[in-house]
Amino acid sequence: MHFPPIAERPWLVSYGRRRARKLTPGKADLMETLLPRIAVRLQPDEGFIQNTPDEIAKAHPRIWLEIGFGGGEHLAEQAARHPDVLCIGCEPFIDGVAKLLDDVNDRGLENVRILPEDARLLLEALPDASIERVFILFPDPWPKIRHQKRRIVSQQTLDLVERILKPGGELRLATDHVDYAIWMLAQVVQHQGFEWQAERDVDWKTAPSDWVSTRYEQKTRAQGREPVYYLLKKKTSKK
Q: Give the H/E segment covering residue 131.
A: strand 131-137
Active site residues: 140
Q: What is the spatial distance between Cα 188 and Cα 49, in angstroms, rounded to a whole number?
A: 37
Gap between the Cα atoms of 50 and 54, Å rounded: 10
Pairing of strands 194-196, 228-234: antiparallel
Identify whether the C-beta of residue 193 lies closer than 8 Å to the C-beta of residue 235.
yes
Amino acid present at 96: G
SS3 for 90?
Answer: strand
Cα–Cα distance measured from residue 177 to residue 189, given in angstroms and rounded to the nearest whole number: 19
Q: Name residue 114's beta-bridge partners.
A: 39, 89
Q: In the 8-state DSSP scheme, what is residue 225?
A: P
Give the whole-angstrom CA distance, residue 227 versus residue 239. 31
Task: Compute the Cα dihedral for 177, 181, 184, 190 and give only its sign.
Answer: negative
